[in-house]
């Protein structure tokens, strides 16, 4: 059996893991067994988790860690794994803490086994922003004197997590002939959190085209009235004038 040389596990200086339960005057117990694949105990350190936000709870790769621990030769002894946010002596639990929202943090795991020294190491847990693109739809009208808008949008990229709610509002409007961007805003008034997304807003155009003067829909009736010259401005009355036509 190859036994790794006794060494102090690599730990974050900001945390002090629990002290060794062994009397310093007693012989030092063997270190955890060497990983036969790598020839070093550091095989236990490769369990960081990096995931894109998906609304689920995440932690380090617990299944892979336990599988690695169980694959090592503990000379017939049964190892166990515990977890801690601080590494303090009284802060270890059998269940690993989890994170759902975007974060970049770490936690400690400790491997213990009768007749072996404890092995303590940290693992990173990173939940990254979920990329999503919201695009407003283009639309066009012929001028009719009315204000127009279009609140239809499409979602692309990773999109929003199923079941999370939000709103799109403050869409642009257009009345006169011309083109304007169909600008809008996201209202985080539901269960979706802005901090969990890397959101991109894309605007298409709203267009109103000029109404042709010979459009059959435009019909103006004028009362033919005779006026006596007075030297002042005279007016005639027109009816059936479409809204916005002057």
> What confidence tens digit (pLDDT) does each residue in 190-202 have?
999 999 999 999 9
- State pTM to two decimals: 0.68
Q: What is the DSSP string of 146-199?
A: S-B----EEEEET-PPTT---EEE----B-SSEEEE---EEE--SS--GGGEEE
pLDDT at 62 over 50: yes
Beta bridge partners of 180: 206
pLDDT digits (tens, 9 = 90+) for 83-108: 999 888 788 999 999 999 999 999 99
Mean pLDDT of 213-232: 64
Q: Are 162 and 114 in contact (CB under 8 A)?
A: no
pLDDT in the model for residue 181: 98
pLDDT tens profile 159-207: 999 999 999 999 999 999 999 999 999 999 999 999 999 999 999 999 9
| CA-based radius of gyration for the chain | 36
């Amino acid at each position: 059996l190859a036994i790794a040389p006794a060494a102090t596990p690599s730990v974050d200086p900001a945390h002090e893991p629990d002290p060794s339960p062994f009397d310093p005057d007693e012989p030092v117990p063997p270190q955890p067994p060497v990983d036969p694949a790598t020839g070093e105990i550091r095989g236990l350190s490769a369990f960081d988790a990096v995931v894109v936000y998906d609304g689920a709870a995440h932690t380090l790769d617990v299944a892979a860690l336990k599988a690695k621990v169980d694959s090592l030769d503990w000379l017939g002894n049964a190892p166990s794994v515990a977890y801690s946010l601080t590494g303090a002596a009284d802060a270890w639990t059998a269940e690993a803490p989890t994170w759902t929202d975007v974060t970049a943090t770490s936690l400690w795991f400790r491997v213990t086994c009768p007749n072996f020294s404890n092995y303590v190491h940290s693992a990173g847990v990173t939940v990254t922003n979920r990329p999503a693109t919201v695009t407003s739809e283009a639309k066009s009208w012929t001028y009719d004197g009315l204000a127009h808008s279009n609140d239809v949008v499409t979602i692309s990229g990773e999109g929003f997590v199923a079941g999370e709610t939000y709103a799109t509002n403050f869409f642009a409007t257009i009345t006169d002939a011309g083109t304007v961007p169909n600008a809008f805003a996201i209202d985080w008034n539901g269960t979706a959190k802005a901090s969990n997304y890397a959101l991109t807003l894309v605007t298409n155009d709203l267009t109103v085209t000029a109404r042709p003067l010979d459009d059959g829909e435009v019909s103006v009736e004028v009362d033919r009235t005779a006026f006596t010259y007075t030297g002042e401005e005279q007016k005639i009355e027109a009816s059936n004038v479409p809204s916005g036509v002057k």
